[in-house]
Amino acid sequence: MIFITAKFQIRPEDADRWPQIAAEFTEATRSEPGCLWFDWSRSVADPEEYVLVEAFRDGDAGAAHVQSDHFRQAQQTLPPHLVRTPRIVNFTIPQDDWSLLGEMAVPGSD
């Protein structure tokens, strides 16, 4: 899978509304057949920073995502709400889901 984490620094006046601002893009991406997950979290250290954790089935699914109409639309509609270009980490890894964190195993939870 293609595993991506990106940090978005949102303009202070838009930070509380970011989930609504990005909602259409988020829902469209989650509906893509190759999207495994597309999840936003707000930083506890910086309330104007959102972290996006996303995964796509493979390179073809990732390519389909960046070539989609909703991605092209997001390229126009989201940057005006950002302080700077998002930072990204992108890896291809031989998995198709989350692994368990064995060092913090919870007995009977699996």
Q: Which residues contact 26 (CB under 8 A, 6 or more apart)?
A: 19, 38, 40
In tens, the pLDDT along 48-89 reads 999 999 999 999 999 999 999 999 999 999 999 999 999 999
What total of structural domains would you count in the chain? 1
Q: Give the structural domain span for 25.
A: 2-93
Determine, yes or no, domain membership for 89: yes
In tens, the pLDDT along 95-104 reads 999 999 999 9
What's the whole-model pTM score?
0.92
Q: What is the DSSP letter of 39?
A: E
Determine, yes or no, domain membership for 28: yes
Determine, yes or no, domain membership for 103: no
Whether the predicted pLDDT of 110 surpasses 90: no
Determine, yes or no, domain membership for 79: yes
Which CATH number belongs to the domain containing residue 51 in this structure?
3.30.70.100
Determine, yes or no, domain membership for 104: no
